[in-house]
Amino acid sequence: MKHWLTTTVVASALALAFGMASATAQETLDPKAKQGGAITITYKDDVATLDPAIGYDWQNWSMIKSLFDGLMDYEPGTTNLRPELAESYEIAPDGKTFTFKLRSGVKFHNGREMTADDVKYSLDRVTNPKTQSPGAGFFASIAGYDDVAGGKSESLTGVTVVDPSTVKIELSRPDATFLHVMAINFSHVVPKEEVEKHGADFGKNPVGTGAYKMAEWTLGQRLVFERNADYWLKGLPYLDKITFEFGQEPIVALLRLQKGEVDVPGDGIPPAKFQEVMADPEQKSRVVEGGQLHTGYVTMNTTMAPFDNVKVRQAVNMAINKDRIVKLINNRAVPANQPLPPSMPGYDKNFKGYAFDVEKAKALLGEAGHPDGFETQLFAMNTDPNPRIAQAIQQDLAAIGIKASIQSLAQANVIAAGGEKNGAPMIWSGGMAWIADFPDPSNFYGPILGCGGAVQGGWNWSWYCNKDLDVKAAEADSIVDPAKADERHKMWSGIYGKIMEDAPWAPVFNEQRFTMKSPRMGGDDKLYVDPVHIPINYDYVYVNDVQ
Amino acid sequence: MIAYLTRRLIQSALILLGVSLITFALLYLLPADPVRQIAGRSTTPQTVESIRQQLGLDQPFVIQYWRYLTNLVSGDLGRSYIQRSEVSELIVARLPASLLLMVGAIVCEVIIGLTMGLVAAVRRGTATDQALMVGSFVGVSAPQFVVGLLLLYVFAVRLGWFPIGGYGTWRHLVLPSLTLGILGAGWYSRMMRSSMIDVLRQDYIRTARAKGLARRAILFRHALPNAILPVVAMIGIDIGLFMGGIVVVESVFGWPGIGQLAWQAIQRVDIPIIMGVTLVSACAIVLGNLLADIVAPFIDPRIKLR
């Protein structure tokens, strides 16, 4: 879903809290950019809703960011937090009260000025169960969340409108990730009158404060964004118009890009054409590569024999030849040895993990009482390249005597099997793998490795639950003081190190991102692999052929 | 005629009811939990239960199905889980494109199929005949995905005669219609050939020849109108064939019809859309067959409706 790049900077984010400098919105304008022009972006699938409280896929995530704004945002192309609709903010010493001062003169696309009431309304709305927001859980630390989520109240007691330009948010516990939460789409500000006018169809009639406004949406065919002439950040956006065309297979999109009809193929370079494109210097020069906060892993169900034995899980970790799998996908990834991806704070550079060692793996299996191996099942999603990767893992496991039959299923069915207690002994996570919602180490823990996720229908598919680590995680997340950010990250490194000792996962690789663009596209390369904007940062890119 | 129509309409309604029941049951049995899909990965059990109740998915199968049927009667196909819009709205938005594509495909298959069959029958036993029949065999057996990509590559990418996918002008329509029509053209050419050969053997053709009519007149005035009848009667049945084909062809060419909608919904397990498109397709197939049966006696007086 959401991707982030570059080593980051929660530290600097937190430094902001204490008034330290960071690039302001105005400073990030590109002097070389000229306003004007239009671009075309293609996608295979229709875009789902553009309601910020509901949209939660990598395709609509970035579009929503261009139509709406939140209190916080990131500097373009980075994971550095900065205020957006908030002009400034203060955090109380106990880390539980955040006071945001709003920017003045910000208008919704319908012409009305945005106020603190809108911020409160948007937070009440996203947490209200009637909204059916997939992001409601992110706001669980706000005081009064439980009453709203439980249907007992319609209003978060923790969110107070101090005056039209000031909003105060009180938390029920210190939460080091809260500023990130104020930057995710689910917290973006919506106008009450428009939501009430359109009801459940607000997502088809989006009205926000963003750099673009929606001009046309022909279902199944095209979506058109136009520049918001009243945007609060003068000079932005650069483009007059963005047309998204739907129903275009990636291969067709690439052909159209080569003919100059398309500027960015939203679904990326089709795997079958990847080597061909990269072998052509002209085309390769228009491909931008970047990292993303993603890890692909194999889960082993720790409640199912023989994976209830840590030695078996460690043996699997040693049996998988990750370099070969990375080659199999044309080097579009780097091998992984821990849950966190390299660009995530808390990633342990010195951690060695389990080296590829077939003999040692066999020995461990013997010690675990399975000298001749055993039979099991490996679940995988049925779209390329996942079945091929599953086969490679199957072969690696066969080398140490584990006979794994592959269950290749539609995504929703694999997710369903993983959420059943005895549903899936092993799952290759490809196509469903965890991509961070925000660049903070805690985001890789709770739902996928913590006890909270090890429930019916949860995402902790290895059903790993270590109560001690849950306590340590809560401790780490209560450290809001930016001066202690390093200490907090070290605590998280320790937590993931302990997890790897227990080996509920075999981390396999961290995917890289490749975005291709037309020759006329301008702007810094980092905008094309922007960690929060997939495929590109629509607000900041421009075209070079504007007169 | 009215009694026949009434009976057929009742039969059709029963068929559609059966289709809806089977599809609903199959989708109900899927392991994927739609509530989890809506609730997302960072949700709480509380939210999940609340959504389940709001959607009525905590009710037993029979009640869920009954509710679906009663909504259906009032034209309500439900709301998409992923796209979060009314399914009927999504289908209505896409239906014209699919119908246009089908008309295009019918034109293609009739023109190509009949011409090939006619020429093959007239040149029966020659190399031309054999070549045409091999061609028709290829047309029938080639996967539409491959045909589509091939046509796209040659005529759109290499030669640049047509746009690479998309929708809007007649030029966009040509390649997808051709791809969808090639399968039917293969069938029609074979049917046309045997029908024509059959007609050419008839006494009245011999009489026409004996009285010295020109070859062209015999072919087009006497033989063709008779040979063409059984072929034309098939067009209604084609609609069923197309419903399968459009899923592939629309995906290859980026044609914004209901086939593409169905394919996206299947991949994302968006149950209300799968259900809606299946029902609409079933309707089209049933209507197509009904139309073919009703039209048949007008084309060929030997057929009687009973």
CATH code for position A106:
3.90.76.10
Buried b (16+ CB within 10 A) or exposed e, A209-226: bbbbbbeebebbbbbbbb
Taking the C-alpha atoms of residue A60 and residue B184, their distance in angstroms, rounded to an integer, is: 39
Question: Complex ipTM above 0.85?
Answer: no
Last residue of a domain, one of B74, B90, B115: B74
CATH code of the domain in which B144 resides: 1.10.3720.10
Per-residue confidence (pLDDT) for residue B254, from 0 to 100 = 84
A339 and A476 co-located in one domain:
yes
The answer for A 50-69 residues in CB contact with B (under 8 A) is 51, 54, 56
The answer for A 283-342 residues in CB contact with B (under 8 A) is none
Give the CA distances from residue B192 to residues B118, B132, B140, B295, in Å, rounded to whole numbers and listed in that order. 6, 12, 14, 19
Mark yes or no for CB contact A410/B267 under 8 Å.
yes
Residue A374 belongs to a domain: yes
B175 and B265 co-located in one domain:
yes
B137 and B265 co-located in one domain:
yes
Residue A47 belongs to a domain: no
Residue B86 belongs to a domain: no
> What are the residues whose beta carbons fall under 8 Å from the beta carbon of B285, sequence distance 6 or more?
B239, B240, B243
B150 and B36 co-located in one domain:
no
- Whether B159 and chain A come into contact, CB under 8 Å, resolves to no
A251 and A374 co-located in one domain:
no
Nearest C-alpha in A relative to B270: A412
What's the domain range around A472? Answer: 292-512
- Whether A451 and chain B come into contact, CB under 8 Å, resolves to no
Taking the C-alpha atoms of residue A331 and residue A528, their distance in angstroms, rounded to an integer, is: 19
Residue A18 belongs to a domain: no
Taking the C-alpha atoms of residue A377 and residue A427, their distance in angstroms, rounded to an integer, is: 8
pLDDT at B244 over 60: yes
Torsional class of A442: left (φ above 0), alpha (ψ -120 to 50), beta (otherwise): alpha
Mark yes or no for CB contact B269/A252 under 8 Å.
no
Residue A406: name the closest of A433, A427, A420 by CA. A427
Residue B1 belongs to a domain: yes
Residue B11 belongs to a domain: yes
Among B38, B156, B253, select the one facing A132 at the smallest CB separation: B38
Please give the angle made by the CA atoms of B208, B213 and B219, to the nearest 5 degrees.
Answer: 75
Mark yes or no for CB contact A252/B165 under 8 Å.
yes
Residues in B touching A219 (Cβ below 8 Å): 85, 89-90, 93-94, 256
B43 and B178 co-located in one domain:
no
A423 and A461 co-located in one domain:
yes
Residue B209 belongs to a domain: no
Nearest C-alpha in B relative to A257: B164
A173-227 pLDDT, tens digit each: 999 999 999 999 999 999 999 999 999 899 999 999 999 999 999 988 899 999 9
A363 and A495 co-located in one domain:
yes
Among B41, B54, B152, select the one facing A447 at the smallest CB separation: B41
Per-residue confidence (pLDDT) for residue A12, from 0 to 100 = 39
Residue A4 belongs to a domain: no
Residue A335 belongs to a domain: yes
Give the CA distances from residue B296 to residues A349, B117, B188, in Å, rounded to whole numbers and listed in that order. 77, 21, 17
Mean pLDDT of chain A: 90
Residue B95 belongs to a domain: no
Which residue in A1, A51, A186, A249 has the most chain B C-beta atoms within 10 A of its own C-beta, making it the best mutation to test that interface?
A: A249
**What does DSSP say about strands A294-300 and A434-435: parallel, antiparallel, or unpaired?**
antiparallel
Residue B208 belongs to a domain: no
A254 and A278 co-located in one domain:
yes
Among B82, B85, B269, select the one facing A410 at the smallest CB separation: B269
A160 and A189 co-located in one domain:
yes
Cα-atom radius of gyration of chain B, to the nearest Å?
Answer: 24
B4 and B43 co-located in one domain:
yes
Token digits of residue B303: 């057929």
A299 and A388 co-located in one domain:
yes
- Whether B33 and chain A come into contact, CB under 8 Å, resolves to yes
Taking the C-alpha atoms of residue A370 and residue A319, their distance in angstroms, rounded to an integer, is: 15
Higher pLDDT, A147 or B217: A147
B65 and B7 co-located in one domain:
yes
Backbone angles phi, psi at A129, to 5 degrees: -60, -25
B155-174 pLDDT, tens digit each: 988 888 988 877 888 999 99
pLDDT at A3 over 70: no
Lowest mean pLDDT among A253-267, A501-515, B244-258: B244-258
**Mean pLDDT on A384-413:** 93
Residue A270: name the closest of A321, A330, A212, A227 by CA. A330
What's the domain range around B57? Answer: 1-74
Taking the C-alpha atoms of residue A9 and residue A80, their distance in angstroms, rounded to an integer, is: 6
Residue A36 belongs to a domain: no
Lowest mean pLDDT among A118-127, A367-376, B127-136: B127-136
Higher pLDDT, B289 or B86: B86
Amino acid at A128: N
Residue A14 belongs to a domain: no
Per-residue confidence (pLDDT) for residue A24, from 0 to 100 = 64
Last residue of a domain, one of A164, A199, A234: A199
Residue A430 belongs to a domain: yes
pLDDT at A56 over 70: yes
Among B32, B51, B79, select the one facing A413 at the smallest CB separation: B32
CATH code of the domain in which A271 resides: 3.40.190.10
Name the strand (E) or helix (H) holding A371.
none
Burial zone of B64 (CB within 10 Å; 0-12 exposed, 13-18 middle, 19+ buried): middle
**Mean pLDDT on A87-108:** 93
B239 touches B223 (CB < 8 A): no
Name the strand (E) or helix (H) holding A436.
none
Per-residue confidence (pLDDT) for residue A365, from 0 to 100 = 95
Residue B68: name the closest of B294, B278, B289 by CA. B278
A103-112 pLDDT, tens digit each: 999 999 999 9
Confidence of residue A27 (pLDDT cuts 50, 70, 90): low
Residue B43 belongs to a domain: yes
Amino acid at B256: P
Per-residue confidence (pLDDT) for residue B165, from 0 to 100 = 76
pLDDT at A41 over 80: yes
B276 and B133 co-located in one domain:
yes
Residue A529: name the closest of A74, A82, A1, A5 by CA. A5
A83 and A161 co-located in one domain:
yes
B123 and B34 co-located in one domain:
no
> What are the residues whose beta carbons fall under 8 Å from the beta carbon of A35, sequence distance 6 or more?
A227, A235, A238, A239, A240, A542, A546
Mark yes or no for CB contact B39/A252 under 8 Å.
no
B186 and B243 co-located in one domain:
yes
A337 touches A467 (CB < 8 A): no
A479 and A412 co-located in one domain:
yes
A171 and A272 co-located in one domain:
no
A181 and A269 co-located in one domain:
no
CATH code of the domain in which A392 resides: 3.10.105.10
B40 and B164 co-located in one domain:
no
A482 and A340 co-located in one domain:
yes
Name the strand (E) or helix (H) holding A387.
helix A386-398
**Mean pLDDT on A131-150:** 90
Residue B227: name the closest of B206, B198, B187, B205 by CA. B198
B84 touches B37 (CB < 8 A): no
Among B43, B157, B269, select the one facing A412 at the smallest CB separation: B269
Confidence of residue A7 (pLDDT cuts 50, 70, 90): very low
Mark yes or no for CB contact A437/B48 under 8 Å.
no
Backbone angles phi, psi at B53, to 5 degrees: -70, -45
The answer for B 78-117 residues in CB contact with A (under 8 A) is 79, 82-85, 89-90, 93-94, 97
Which residue in B83, B152, B158 has the most chain A C-beta atoms within 10 A of its own C-beta, making it the best mutation to test that interface?
A: B83
SS3 A274: helix
pTM: 0.85
Lowest mean pLDDT among A234-243, B38-47, B114-123, B237-246: B38-47
A433-480 pLDDT, tens digit each: 677 888 889 989 988 999 988 988 888 999 999 999 999 999 999 988
- Whether B39 and chain A come into contact, CB under 8 Å, resolves to yes
Domains in chain B, number: 2
Higher pLDDT, A80 or A515: A515
CA dihedral B54, B59, B63, B68 (to 10 degrees): 40
B179 and B243 co-located in one domain:
yes
Nearest C-alpha in B relative to A254: B164
Per-residue confidence (pLDDT) for residue A433, from 0 to 100 = 64
Mark yes or no for CB contact A137/B44 under 8 Å.
yes
B3 and B107 co-located in one domain:
no
A154 touches A124 (CB < 8 A): yes
Residue A264: name the closest of A65, A35, A523, A511 by CA. A523
Domains in chain A, number: 3
Q: Which residue has the tokens 């079933």?
A: B282
DSSP track, A64-114: HHHH---SEEE-TTS--EEESSEEEEEE-TTS-EEEEEEPTT-B-TTSPBP
Taking the C-alpha atoms of residue A355 and residue A335, their distance in angstroms, rounded to an integer, is: 11
